[in-house]
Amino acid sequence: MAQRYGGKFSPDGQEPDKQAERPAFQGARVDAAGARSNILFVPPLVLAATSLGSGAVGLVTGLGGAALLVAGAWLCREGLRAEAAFNDRRVARRPGFPRKIAAAVLTGAGVALAAWRNDPGLIAPILYGIAATGLHLAAFGLDPMKDKGMEGIDTFQQDRVARVVDEAETYLSAMTDAIKRAGDRQAESRVERFLQSVRELIRTVEEDPRDLVAARKFLGVYLMGARDATVKFADIYSRTRDASARSDYMMLLTDLEESFGQKTKKLLLDNNTDLTVEIEVLRDRLQREGVRLD
C-alpha cells in the first residue's frame, strides 16, 4: 500500500531523535537470492506451458520436469540465503542439508526429463542432465562444507544458544509484523533500529556461548515484553492515532535500545578481560620456562 512521504523537511515532519545516532539502514543486507536465482523459475514455466499440447505422455513428462526444476530453483534460493548467513557470522556451523548441491541434482534431473520428452533415447537426456548439473554447480558453487570458528566451542552450549536465538528471532519477526499495522513510518524505522541493537547482542552471544547466561533475560523476557508492547501500541495507534501512546512507545524503545547496547558493550568488555588474563597467564608461564618477552 502506498505511504505518504515523511521526514524532517515534510509538512508534518519532526526532528529526528538526537540520541539515535545509528541510521535506520545500518546493517541492511541485500537479499542473497537475487535475480540470478529467481530467473531459474522461468524455464519450468516455459516447459509446463509447452507441454500442454503434447499428449498424455508429453504432458505428464513435461509437468514432472517442471516440478523438478521448480524444486531445484527453490532449493538454490534457500541455499544462497543460508550461505550468506554463514558468511556473515564469524562462528557458524555448516548447513545441515546441502541445498545448492541438491538443487543442482534436481535441475539436472528436470533437464534430463525435459530432454527425454523430445528425445526418448537414453544417452542424450543423461548427457543433458549432467551438463545442466555441472553448469549449475559452476554458476552457484557448493554449499559450505566445514564449520567456521567452532574450535574450542562446546557444541552443547552452542545448541542452547541456537534455541535461544531462534526464540529471539521469533519475537523480532512478530515486532516487525505488528508495527506495520500502526501505519507510522517513523515508528517502523525506530523499531528497525532497535532490532539492529538486538541482533548485535545475538551475534555477540553466538560468537561466545558463555555469554548466554548473562544475556538470556534480554533475549527472552525483555524481547517478549517488547513484542507485547509493540502489538498493543499498533492496535491502539491504528485506531486512535494517540500521540501520547506513540511518545511512550518511542521512549520505551529508546530505553530498551540503550539497555541492549550497554549489555553488548559489557559482554565485549568481559571478553577482552578474559583475553587479557589469558595473555598474562601465558607470559608468566613463558617466564617460568626461561623465555623473556621484550
Q: Residue 135: its pLDDT value, please?
A: 93
Q: What are phi and psi of 190, to 5 degrees?
A: -65, -40
C-alpha cell at 262: 550497554
**What is the count of structural domains for the chain?**
2
Q: What pLDDT does residue 102 have?
A: 94
Whole-number pLDDT of residue 31: 65
Model pLDDT, residue 1: 44
Interval 161-206: pLDDT, tens: 778 888 888 888 888 888 888 888 888 888 888 888 888 888 877 7
User: Cα separations (Å) of 181 from 235, 246, 256?
Assistant: 7, 13, 21
Task: State which of 108, 140, 172 marks the end of a domain.
Answer: 140
CA separation for the pair 157, 149 (Å, rounded): 14
Confidence of residue 100 (pLDDT cuts 50, 70, 90): very high
pLDDT of residue 74: 93
Considering the domain architecture, whether residues 107 and 165 belong to the same structural domain is answered as no
Q: Based on the domain organization, do 176 and 221 belong to the same domain?
A: yes
User: 98-112, 133-147, 234-248 — which one is most confidently predicted on average?
Assistant: 98-112
Does 87 share its domain with 169?
no
If one counts every other C-beta atom within 10 angstroms of the C-beta of residue 7, the result is 11
Position 173 in a domain:
yes
Residue 148 within any structural domain of the chain: no
Indicate if 133 and 55 belong to the same structural domain.
yes
With residue 205 as reference, give the H or E element that holds it: helix 185-207
- Residues 92/40, Cβ–Cβ less than 8 Å: no
- How many angstroms separate the CA atoms of 107 and 44, rounded? 10
CA distances to 107, 108, 248, 259 from 112, rounded to whole Å, are: 9, 6, 61, 57
Q: What pLDDT, in 10s, does the model give residues 1-53?
A: 455 555 555 544 454 444 445 554 555 566 667 777 888 899 899 988 888 87
Q: What is the pLDDT at residue 91?
A: 64
DSSP 35-60: HHHHGGGHHHHHHHHHTTTSHHHHHH
The average pLDDT across 85-114 equals 85
| Number of other CB atoms surrounding residue 166 within 10 Å | 9
